[in-house]
Amino acid sequence: MQIAEGVQLVTFAILSILLVGAALGVVLFANIVYSAFLLGGVFISMAGIYILLNADFVSAAQILVYVGAVNVLILFAIMLVNKREDFKPLKNGWIRQGSTAVVCGGLFALLSAVSIVTPWSISTVSPLASSVVPIAKHFFTDFLLPFELASILLLMSMVGAIILARRDFLPDNLGATSTQDSLTLPERPRELAGK
């Protein structure tokens, strides 16, 4: 890393404040569209922290995959399920929120104490100039099988997501649809189970 250490510290402080603030906003905002855009802020500041950790390739992949794909997917899902509804307040809902806050605070204290107390064996090797070539070597030598399995997993999840999100297929109407354009899928809106 070519940046001076003071600059690194200030950058880390700014990025971590942005990260924690945006994450709290994701959880606490009432409007879910604000939450989705703040989630993009979380992902971008996380990419900045990855650059501080000498990981240029992973930082670029973070922006491409999370901001470009996952965040846009979440925005589309919000758009598809946009129903303005006021949730009925739960009986004794504050007990759940309070106890969850206590447990999360305790977990945070525990994890911080462990990470401060443990004597980590910090390596003194200077970090690599670019991480792209070593990552590619790992992918095509010792991590080849997981790499190929990840591609199969992505294909399976894509097919599964399409099957799950598609509306019902209408089999009894199949013969009549031959006049229809062959590229459109015959489907009908599903009845609501609760009605």
Partner 1 sequence: MLQLQYFLILAAALFCIGIYGLITSRNAVRVLMSIELMLNAVNLNLMGFSNYIDPAEIKGQVFTIFVIAIAAAEAAVGLAIVLAIYRNRDTVDMEQFNLLKW
**Identity at 42, one-letter amino acid code:** V
Q: Is residue 4 near partner 1 by the rule CB under 8 A?
A: no
Among 108, 176, 177, 188, binds partner 1 (CB under 8 A): 108
Q: Is residue 176 near partner 1 by the rule CB under 8 A?
A: no
Closest CB to partner 1 among 165 and 182?
A: 165
Q: Is residue 63 near partner 1 by the rule CB under 8 A?
A: no
Phi/psi region, residue 172 (left: phi>0; alpha: psi -120 to 50; beta: rest), is: alpha
Q: Is residue 7 near partner 1 by the rule CB under 8 A?
A: no
CB of 133 to partner 1, least distance (A): 11
Strand, coil or helix: 81:
coil
Q: Is residue 143 near partner 1 by the rule CB under 8 A?
A: yes
Q: Is residue 150 near partner 1 by the rule CB under 8 A?
A: yes
Q: Is residue 174 near partner 1 by the rule CB under 8 A?
A: no
58, 25 Cβ separation under 8 angstroms = no
Kindly identify the residues of this chain, within the stretch 11-30, that bind partner 1 according to CB under 8 A: 12, 16, 19-20, 23-24, 26-27
Dihedral of the alpha carbons of 13, 16, 22, 26, in degrees to the nearest 10: -160
The C-alpha atoms of residue 34 and residue 38 are separated, in whole angstroms, by 6
Q: Is residue 44 near partner 1 by the rule CB under 8 A?
A: no
Question: How far is residue 89 CA from its own chain's centroid?
Answer: 28
